[in-house]
Amino acid sequence: MPLIVQKYGGTSVGTVERISEVAKRVLVTKQGGNQVVVVVSAMAGETNKLLALAHQLSEMPDERERDVLLAAGEQVSTALLTLALKSLGERARSFLGHQVRIETDSSYGRARIKSIDSNRILRALKDGEIVVVAGFQGVDEEDNITTLGRGGSDTSAVAIAAALNAEVCEIYTDVEGVFTTDPNICPTAKKLDRIFHEEMIEMASTGARVLQIRSVELAMKFSVPVHIRSSFSEAPGTWLVEEDQAMDSVLVSGVTYDKNEAKITLLKVPDRPGLAAQIFSPIAEANIVVDMIIQNASEDGTTDLTFTVPKADYKKAIALVEKTASVIQAKGVTVDPNIAKVSIVGVGMRTHAGVAAKMFQLLAREGVNIEMISTSEIKISVVIDEKYTELAVRVLHDAFIENQGNL
Amino acid sequence: MPLIVQKYGGTSVGTVERISEVAKRVLVTKQGGNQVVVVVSAMAGETNKLLALAHQLSEMPDERERDVLLAAGEQVSTALLTLALKSLGERARSFLGHQVRIETDSSYGRARIKSIDSNRILRALKDGEIVVVAGFQGVDEEDNITTLGRGGSDTSAVAIAAALNAEVCEIYTDVEGVFTTDPNICPTAKKLDRIFHEEMIEMASTGARVLQIRSVELAMKFSVPVHIRSSFSEAPGTWLVEEDQAMDSVLVSGVTYDKNEAKITLLKVPDRPGLAAQIFSPIAEANIVVDMIIQNASEDGTTDLTFTVPKADYKKAIALVEKTASVIQAKGVTVDPNIAKVSIVGVGMRTHAGVAAKMFQLLAREGVNIEMISTSEIKISVVIDEKYTELAVRVLHDAFIENQGNL
């Protein structure tokens, strides 16, 4: 019997009514002759509500305890969905992270899954039960509760699908799939029928919220077929597929943006070897993910060093950087939380030159100043003033996707 | 170093501000040279909120899943209190039921603690940490989450105090201790400085909400000193003490009431041996606790059988009873959820006759009809129409406690 893993995001289980709808959809899948494992996120808003409580008590809540707190959100939605399935007369059973031993490392708030004990899930499936697993959470070796970071339920789902060798991992969300850009900003945005793993990773890492990056990496590594689709319609969504030379590839698949970073600059640092290590080691130790880094050497033997960190972490980062700054005799530290990163992503860039130049021209024409640039083989990101975000996205989408032929 | 277990109820941790206050009190205890283990309930209202969600999905929610759901409440308050302690600069660590292996039987919703693995708690205490343990929850042999029933955190606290051989188990609540009756109904109610275990058990089982009965039984069995006091004041509260013949004992220590039961009557059941077993076995199997039972034989060879069950369970009980009723050819089944049980409790009753008669007279004088009577060595309970509850309590308190000399 085929085994399907379905993951429902926070909006899909945001109310009791929606949970009932999800239960019906799960039931249909089961009645279609499948074994079903469901992975759920916390009800929409719950995680933020819990975080807000923590922040009332502490500016930088202890990470172990914050994870204990947040894991309660998925515990609630998992139990409620199981109750909804049972109220439909179905046999169903919930499991929390510690009960199916979703073992992770001990990086609270961004833990990585090391292993899953699939026996208990398989036993329940064999008993004819629908299995509901709490997403987002795991336990480390010592049974401490860990969480996988924003969007971590996607990763839970793909990891479980991999462990169970599932037919497909369906990621249900409140949009119809992966779009060429945010339809709220750009009405001409189109749903993609499929997207390559590499593109999805770049899009996710540059702001597309549809999937946690780690889940795409896992899907790629373990060849888990992933189908991203809407929990509010029956329409097919977007399939994550392996890159295939034979397929036509477009130049740019998507335009993304991210307003969740802050820019930190160390001014006039005396330039010497080992500088970057000195600055970034304490930040890495604090588990803060640095995204872009730029260093501009100037003539006077000093350098300005700019980098971006998640907005949520920037106060912590500043505290660490200011400590380092005095040690390395920097002239000062500035922060700008009002930035946005706008990116274009597409495997076609590998074989086309001039895409970056075109992008810079388009932005210059609109008077948008580029503060930082970062590129990969299949992506170009620029950091700009936050207020130009929507304008930049529309201009780039129009030029690269809507009117691709005119390039 | 003395070890103190403190339990804080839902009202004491009802808001972030109150959690901060609790943290300060815990800190003072630690600074007084004690090791401290704190047991917390869910924030006031949370358990009911979660239950309401479950009831939106199912009239009789599956018990395993309901426990998973409810356990989330204590998880949140436990994490928040630990965060509050950390924000005061204290070392602290939270533990959930499965992490310190509070192992229970598998009676969801009313599980009984079988064992606690105190090693992890002791290790944390030795490391100088304040330990915060989630009350109300445990796991069974198979790691399924269980809960201990309303007030279960009291039992968690006493069980932990017993396992750790604590100096004292302090139960912090929103009242100053155990009162002779409900001060909201009877303004002359007085706080008791001490109360015997047996009396506390009777008072709790007849409606005094201050402690879960099971916790008193454990305190008695393991000789755990328990001090019930207010989290909003420094005043001493009520000590639970072992009965001591040398101490003066009053006739009646408390007047209690309980509006949370419903009365079910089987009409004109053909009277024959094995009848009660036939009726009550399915109810027991459904884990419904029957409180009072009365059987009135009549001349025609049939009998009316009346009993009370918790209001929360009465629909379930009715369904079972109606099934049995047709089998045993009862004439019908009636239910009355609008009843109250009013009781007087005191070890002094053991040596005094006439207390029951006096109680019945007092109620008769007010026109209160007695529907059922149940007595123990140190307690008399009557079931009356719910609307007379407050009147009955005041009359009994006045006569037996306020004006005891005039009896």
- What is the pLDDT at residue A167? 97
Distance, in Å, from the CA atom of A72 to the CA atom of A52, rounded to the nearest integer, reads: 14
What residues of A are in contact with residue B78 (Cβ under 8 Å)?
68
Residue in chain B lying closest to A141 (CA): B99
Residues 6+ apart with CB under 8 A from B135: B7, B39, B40, B41, B74, B152, B153, B154, B156, B157
Distance, in Å, from the CA atom of B88 to the CA atom of B68, rounded to the nearest integer, reads: 31
- What is the pLDDT at residue B174? 87
* Domain membership flag for residue A90: yes
Q: What is the mean pLDDT of residues B163-180?
A: 95
| Pairing relationship of beta strands A379-385 and A372-376 according to DSSP bridges | antiparallel
pLDDT digits (tens, 9 = 90+) for A118-140: 999 999 999 999 999 999 999 99
Provide the pLDDT confidence category of residue B407 given band limits of 50, 70 and 90.
very low
Q: Given the cut 0.85, state whether the ipTM is greater than it.
A: no
- Is pLDDT above 50 for B373? yes
Domain that holds residue B103: 3-174
- What is the pLDDT at residue A247? 60
Residues 6+ apart with CB under 8 A from A199: A253, A254, A345, A346, A347, A378
Cα separations (Å) of A307 from A265, A292, A300? 7, 5, 21
CB atoms B66 and A79 under 8 Å: yes
Shortest distance between the Cα of B140 and any Cα of chain A, in A, equals 12
* Domain membership flag for residue B10: yes
Cα separations (Å) of A94 from A10, A27, A97, A125, B62? 17, 15, 10, 12, 11
Q: What is the mean pLDDT of residues A167-186?
A: 94
Q: What is the mean pLDDT of residues A273-292?
A: 86
Helix (H), strand (E) at residue A336: strand A332-336
pLDDT digits (tens, 9 = 90+) for A57-112: 998 899 999 999 999 999 999 999 999 999 999 999 999 999 999 999 999 999 99
CB atoms B94 and A53 under 8 Å: no
Q: What is the mean pLDDT of residues B170-191?
A: 94
Cα separations (Å) of A395 from A344, A345, A360, A388? 11, 15, 11, 11
pLDDT digits (tens, 9 = 90+) for B80-128: 999 999 999 999 999 999 999 999 999 999 999 999 999 999 999 999 9
Provide the pLDDT confidence category of residue B247 given band limits of 50, 70 and 90.
low
Residues 6+ apart with CB under 8 A from B26: B6, B36, B38, B81, B85, B130
Two tokens, residue A11: 């909006």
CB atoms B68 and A61 under 8 Å: no
Q: Which of A36, A81, A78 is nearest to B57 (CA)?
A: A81
Shortest distance between the Cα of B262 and any Cα of chain A, in A, equals 25
Q: Which of A228, A1, A14 is nearest to A130 (CA)?
A: A1
What residues of A are in contact with residue B80 (Cβ under 8 Å)?
53-54, 57, 69
- What is the pLDDT at residue B357? 87
- Scanning B168-313, the segments in alpha helix (DSSP H) are 197-205, 213-221, 275-285
Tell which wins on pLDDT, B295 or A306: A306
Distance, in Å, from the CA atom of B345 to the CA atom of B363, rounded to the nearest integer, reads: 16
Establish, for the pair of chains A and B, how many residue pairs have beta carbons separated by less than 8 Å.
109
Q: What is the mean pLDDT of residues A330-343?
A: 94
Phi and psi for A340 in degrees, rounded to 5? Answer: -140, 145
What residues of B are in contact with residue A16 (Cβ under 8 Å)?
53, 56-57
CB atoms A65 and B94 under 8 Å: yes
Q: Which of A120, A119, A121, A159 is nearest to A138 (CA)?
A: A159
CB atoms A54 and B143 under 8 Å: no
Provide the pLDDT confidence category of residue A11 given band limits of 50, 70 and 90.
very high
Two tokens, residue A356: 């970056």
* Domain membership flag for residue A60: yes
Shortest distance between the Cα of B5 and any Cα of chain A, in A, equals 20
Structural domain total, chain B: 1
Number of C-beta neighbours around residue A18 at 10 A: 20
CB atoms A72 and B72 under 8 Å: yes
Q: Which of B76, B139, B144 to substitute to test the interface with A, most A CBs within 10 Å?
A: B76
- What is the pLDDT at residue B406? 47
Provide the pLDDT confidence category of residue A354 given band limits of 50, 70 and 90.
confident
What residues of A are in contact with residue B145 (Cβ under 8 Å)?
96
pLDDT digits (tens, 9 = 90+) for B149-169: 989 999 999 999 999 999 999
What residues of A are in contact with residue B20 (Cβ under 8 Å)?
57
Q: What is the mean pLDDT of residues B221-230?
A: 96
CB atoms B69 and A50 under 8 Å: no
- What is the pLDDT at residue A407? 45
CB atoms B87 and A16 under 8 Å: no
Residue in chain B lying closest to A65 (CA): B79
Q: What is the mean pLDDT of residues B263-275?
A: 86
* Domain membership flag for residue B170: yes
> In the predicted model, what is the mean pLDDT of chain A?
92
CB atoms B56 and A16 under 8 Å: yes
Distance, in Å, from the CA atom of A54 to the CA atom of A70, rounded to the nearest integer, reads: 10
Percent of chain A with pLDDT over 90: 75
CATH code at B133?
Answer: 3.40.1160.10
Distance, in Å, from the CA atom of A24 to the CA atom of A120, rounded to the nearest integer, reads: 24
* Domain membership flag for residue B234: no
Distance, in Å, from the CA atom of A12 to the CA atom of A288, rounded to the nearest integer, reads: 30
* Domain membership flag for residue A246: no
Residues 6+ apart with CB under 8 A from A382: A341, A342, A343, A359, A360, A363, A370, A371, A372, A373, A374, A392
pLDDT digits (tens, 9 = 90+) for A27-67: 999 999 999 999 999 999 999 999 999 999 998 899 999 99
Cα separations (Å) of B277 from B259, B284, B303, B333? 27, 10, 15, 17
- What is the pLDDT at residue B394? 96
> In the predicted model, what is the mean pLDDT of chain B?
92
Residue A243 backbone class (left: φ over 0; alpha: ψ -120 to 50; beta: rest) = beta
- What is the pLDDT at residue B248? 62
- Is pLDDT above 90 for A273? no
* Domain membership flag for residue A396: no
Residue in chain B lying closest to A20 (CA): B57
Q: Which of B75, B132, B139, B146 to substitute to test the interface with A, most A CBs within 10 Å?
A: B75
- What is the pLDDT at residue A277? 83
Residue in chain A lying closest to B23 (CA): A57
Q: Which of A22, A59, A62 to substitute to test the interface with B, most B CBs within 10 Å?
A: A62
Residues of B with CB under 8 A from a CB of A: 16, 19-20, 50, 53-54, 56-58, 61-62, 64-66, 68-69, 71-73, 75-76, 78-80, 82-84, 86-87, 93-94, 96, 98-99, 143-145
- What is the pLDDT at residue B249? 63
What residues of A are in contact with residue B86 (Cβ under 8 Å)?
58, 61-62, 65
Provide the pLDDT confidence category of residue A248 given band limits of 50, 70 and 90.
low
What residues of B are in contact with residue A146 (Cβ under 8 Å)?
none
Residue in chain B lying closest to A134 (CA): B68
Tell which wins on pLDDT, A351 or B49: B49
Number of C-beta neighbours around residue A250 at 10 A: 15
* Domain membership flag for residue B121: yes
Q: What is the mean pLDDT of residues B54-77?
A: 96
What residues of B are in contact with residue A50 (Cβ under 8 Å)?
76
pLDDT digits (tens, 9 = 90+) for B314-366: 999 999 999 999 999 899 999 999 999 999 999 888 877 788 889 999 999 99
Partner-chain residue, chosen from B54, B86, B143, that has the shortest CB–CB distance to A80: B54
Partner-chain residue, chosen from A68, A84, A99, that has the shortest CB–CB distance to B79: A68
